[in-house]
Structure 1
Amino acid sequence: MLNAAVRNVRGLNRRDHQIVIRKLAINSMLHFIGLLETRVTLPNAARVQNGILPRWNWFSDYNSAGNRIWLAWDDDFLDIAIMDIGVQFVHCRIFIRSSHIYVLVTVSYGANDMGSRRELWQALCTISGSIGDDPWLVGGDFNAVRDLSEVCSTSGDIRLAMNELNDCILNTGLIALPMRGERFTWHNCSDDGRSLWKRLDRLLANDKWIERWPDVFYDCLTPRTSDHSPLVLRGDCRRPPQRKMKGDLSANFKLAGEFLEISQRLLQEDRHEPLLLHLEHCCRLVFLKAVKIEHVMLQQRAKIQWMKGGDQCSRVFFRKVAIRRANKRIFQISDEAGVDM
């Protein structure tokens, strides 16, 4: 899977901010990172980028207002082509060399005001129409929450903004990935006692991404040098291939039957030999296990054929299943005071 992270860094001119990003890339073994709100001017960009990850490739769009998004990747592992650019997003196609697959990634940085954010929602809906069957990941700072549980403290009337974000997620066919770690991704760092926490940052994916990597989730790490938490993609589910049985099951049944016949013949010669009794017992266990395996395999084949022929494998059905799985996964448990156990 793509080893990726996104983060609103709230400025990269300071050396300590640069060191934090470098450590994040090294400690999480990243191959791709999206950085938001760098606040670095064009004359200083190359110096800052080389100070963080000098061997990586970098993309920054200084033609768009504010230069809001940087991309960085290790070209020993990835090939990247920029597909589309907007003031609030960068959309790219990534070739993962280790698995020889293409994925699509959109790094987003939503505007502060609700009216301008509508341009991002429209852009994501437009992009979704060109995705096809490719795995698609969308991540970044959306500057909006999905429901009131993602806000701690007073934040005014945000229901319309919430509805617009949820409509965008629904219309694009994206699925909210499970999150582990910090509950809120942003804190206003207020010194006047009016602290405010929100979940403004998130990772979303389409059904094709989750179908390929069913165990995908992301870690929301401690913010440290920024008011936003880094989001690190996790959950590579590349399972080891199952070992193939030598020969087909019919040959295994035949072998087990011959073994049972021989043991019974020996028992007729000496019915009180403990070793032969043990031999027969082991043989019967092998035979019963083979029967059970055959039964399970026949069930699986029938299920696969039914799913292929029916409508249960539609993308709408799979998306509902993926959402239900994501919502039911438990990563941590807290006590009544909200302290992680």
Structure 2
Amino acid sequence: MLSVASWNTRGLCNLSHQRAVRDLIRESNLHVCAALESRASVSSLPSICERVFGSWSWASNGSLCLRGTRIIVAWNPVHVDMMLLNATDQVMHFQVKIRDSSKILFLSMVYAENYHIARRQLWASLKGHKHVVKDTPWFIMGDFNVALDPKDNSSGTSGPNRGMDDFRQCVRHLEVEDVNYKGLFFTWTKNPNGTGGLLKKINRILGNSHSLARFPSASVVFLPYRNLDHSPAVLTLPSGSPRKPKPFKFPNLLTYKEPFLNVVSSHWHPDLVGREMYKISQNLKNLKGPLRKMLSDQGNLHSKVAKLRLELDRVQIALDRDPENGALREEHCGYLSTYNSACLDEERFLMQKAKINWLHEGDRNSSFFHKSDWRLEKKSSDVFVPDNNIKDDARSSRFSSTSDTNVDEEAPLMASSRLSYIGRSQLSSRDA
């Protein structure tokens, strides 16, 4: 799992702000952390980063900024390997490699300018970076200093302004969208220490379609901003893919059980409203749960047979030592009946499973198919093909010897279409 956070700290030279970032790293178990609007001079960055991030690696765009460093990105080299690809005073583009899974993704940390004209350089940089990303997962996160929608403003607006239009156009061009998030909706407050402050959603985490496909369980949480005016955003990328539910497979052996008809009739509702196909599909969905429970009540068929076999052996040994014991005879009859029933259930289950394996592998160019095909060819070599040049008596003796000696009764049965095809092939070869 990878955890990435971005937070507008409004100055990282303040000791309380440094402590807040350290607490965020510890509480959220972060692997990558971006401190935005640090306002630190380039010369003071090493000491500040050592106090805040410890032994982590870090990079900044301080040399590109006129009024203090705007973006500092630090990462734990034990978990991730990050390479800075490009940077401006408003964005830093990284390539990230997750060490435990070797997955590659792109990460862009943003701290946009306050004025919409200056932000156009940021939009141009993001559009250019799209050609580098191509079909690789890409996350864009940080403080965009502009809302994407009128509802992102607590006071509401009459409509989108020019800066909002530029942001929307860039998002459409990049083909990105918000990663599934929870926590605070408004991520910035204009007056945190007073009343009547303005609330806006200007901090976001966006992802392209490849990031959402590669990390379908990716999630974002916007935490409370506490004594600052921006909410920290934490992106979590689970290392494994989400567990998919197993498809429903109907075991035929359930149809031989007494409760089966009662279960079906009690959960089948013919009075549903809708088209006939909809009624059937809904009733079948309603039956999944009860049938799964019914199968679960049967237990593990293989271990059940093995356990009953041991109990039957024990009773038969005891009955051999005491043949006149009526209680043992009744116990033996009960175990024998239960054992036979369990063996029949196991046989029905395995027969259905064998058919499923053939349907799954039979038409594929797999070793399973070729082994089965080899057995079919072996069987087909024993098929009698009449020869007009042989006399009637010799033909009859040949037929009898072939049927008596060459037929392999243990070979699998061969479909009639397969048999006729083999017969035609051999006839044609003989005519040639």
Q: What residue number does 1:323 align with?
A: none
Question: Structure 1 or 2: larger helix share?
Answer: 2
What whole-Å deviation, never above 9, does each CA across 1:174-198 have from its counterpart, x for those lacking one? 2221111011111112566432111
Using the TM superposition, give the Cα deviation of residue 157 of structure 1 relative to its aligned residue in structure 2, in angstroms: 5.8
Q: Does 2:339 align with 1:275?
A: yes
Q: What residue number does 2:167 align with?
A: 165
User: Over alpha carbons, which structure has the higher Rg?
Assistant: 2
- What is the alpha-carbon root mean square deviation over aligned residues? 2.9
Using the TM superposition, give the Cα deviation of residue 153 of structure 1 relative to its aligned residue in structure 2, in angstroms: 1.5
Provide closer, same or farther for how the CA distance between residues 228 and 292 of structure 1 changes in structure 2, counting only shifts above 3 A.
farther
Mapped contact 1:33–1:71 kept (Cα < 8 A) = yes
Within 2, Cα distance between the matches of 1:6 and 1:234? Answer: 12
Mapped contact 1:20–1:225 kept (Cα < 8 A) = no
Within 2, Cα distance between the matches of 1:188 and 1:9? Answer: 14
Using the TM superposition, give the Cα deviation of residue 293 of structure 1 relative to its aligned residue in structure 2, in angstroms: 7.9
Mapped contact 2:150–2:158 kept (Cα < 8 A) = no
SS at match of 2:132: coil
Within 1, Cα distance between the matches of 2:97 and 2:192? Answer: 42
TM-score, normalising length: structure 2: 0.58
TM-score, normalising length: structure 1: 0.72
Alignment length (residue pairs): 274
Q: What residue number does 1:129 align with?
A: 131
Within 2, Cα distance between the matches of 1:294 and 1:240? Answer: 29
SS at match of 2:64: coil
Within 2, Cα distance between the matches of 1:45 and 1:68? Answer: 11
2:211 aligned to which of 209, 215, 218: 209
Within 2, Cα distance between the matches of 1:220 and 1:110? Answer: 19
Matches within 5 A, 1:97-108: 97-108=99-110
Out of 275-284 and 49-58, give the one that drifted further: 275-284
Q: What residue number does 2:9 align with?
A: 9
Using the TM superposition, give the Cα deviation of residue 240 of structure 1 relative to its aligned residue in structure 2, in angstroms: 8.4
Q: Which amino acid aligns with 1:277?
A: S
Provide closer, same or farther for how the CA distance between residues 51 and 281 of structure 1 changes in structure 2, counting only shifts above 3 A.
same
SS at match of 1:215: coil
What whole-Å deviation, never above 9, does each CA across 1:319-339 have from its counterpart, x for those lacking one? xxxxxxxxxxxxxxxxxxxxx
Mapped contact 1:144–1:161 kept (Cα < 8 A) = yes
Provide closer, same or farther for how the CA distance between residues 291 and 170 of structure 1 changes in structure 2, counting only shifts above 3 A.
farther
Q: What residue number does 2:51 align with?
A: 51
SS at match of 2:58: strand
Mapped contact 2:142–2:204 kept (Cα < 8 A) = yes
Within 1, Cα distance between the matches of 2:208 and 2:70? Answer: 24
SS at match of 1:162: helix
Within 2, Cα distance between the matches of 1:97 and 1:112? Answer: 37
Give unpaired runs (5+ residues) of structure 2.
Answer: 245-301, 306-332, 365-432
Mapped contact 2:62–2:71 kept (Cα < 8 A) = no
Q: What residue number does 2:111 align with?
A: 109
Q: Which has the higher contact order (CA 8 A, sep 6+)?
A: 1
2:93 aligned to which of 82, 91, 94: 91
Give unpaired runs (5+ residues) of structure 1.
Answer: 243-255, 260-269, 302-341
SS at match of 1:38: strand
Mapped contact 1:154–1:196 kept (Cα < 8 A) = no
SS at match of 1:280: helix
